[in-house]
Amino acid sequence: MPMSDTVKMEGDSAPLIEMEEFRGWILLDDEDLLVLDKPGWVVCHPSKNGPMSSLVGAARVFTGLDVLHLVSRLDRETSGLVLLAKNKGTARAFQMALQERKVEKNYLALMEGEMAEAVTVNRRLARDGASPVYVKQAIRKSRTSQRALTHFQPLAVVNGFTLAKVCPETGRKHQIRAHAQWLGHAIVGDKIYGPDENYYLQFIENGWTPEMGESLLLPRQALHARELTFHFYDHERKFQAPFPKDMKSFCQKQMGLDSRTLENLLNLNNQTVTK
């Protein structure tokens, strides 16, 4: 199995990226953009462990460019679309579209429990001061809270799980994950917003354990940035990443969805499968 099809989670020190596997993540490479399908074990930002320890670092090595502009970014364990601009003009155009909310963002998520119908969460987010996990966000009103709006649409509701299309209108830290937890449908495999936030601290310290496997079911949060559509004044640019194999395997083994059913759901997105 190719390395990009596996989840190489090893606590705070992730394995180095190999250039051969990096090339397999490339969805578009032209004079302006490098569009990548990031696996769920890669950090976006450069780290102290050298260029091949992060997506941006590996992209610099691949392109030979000293400066790349990160247009879109993802949490380490979230897979899917990441856009890197190769020049300031392209970066500014895409970043302005994001700032002006002229971008449609489409994620796929595996969620705990069965979501009966589509729901929109419009709840402000701020840092959870009561949590031992410093980065954790919570739904609350405070001086520092920010508006957050997320649309959840169930696509398949089977065997105690939901495959959902998720469209965030805002881009707050951990927005989808925090809103999913508030709904009572945490993202499968989420170490912070799942069954026990202490799993995150244990994972950073000691890496993946069998106990986590029994409780979390997946070694990373089952959240995938599938599609980004940028609306410019005279045209639009749409990018799409394929459904990741670890999430597809979960749908087949835990939810009993065959490949054809999944393909139809992901192509149409206008019907819900229940069993």
- Residues taking part in catalysis: 75
Q: Which residue has the tokens 């320890």?
A: 53
Give the CA-trace dihedral at 57, 60, 63, 68, to 10 degrees.
120
In 3-state terms the chain splits into helix, strand, coil percentages (rounded to 5) of 30, 30, 45
Q: Are 186 and 176 in contact (CB under 8 A)?
A: no
Q: In which region does residue 258 sit, left (phi positive, over 0), alpha (psi from -120 to 50) or beta (all else)? A: beta
> Residue 271: which residues within 8 A CB-CB, separation 6 or more?
155, 265
| Token representation of residue 223 | 């959240």
Q: Are 21 and 5 in contact (CB under 8 A)?
A: no
The span from the CA of 251 to the CA of 158, in Å, is: 9
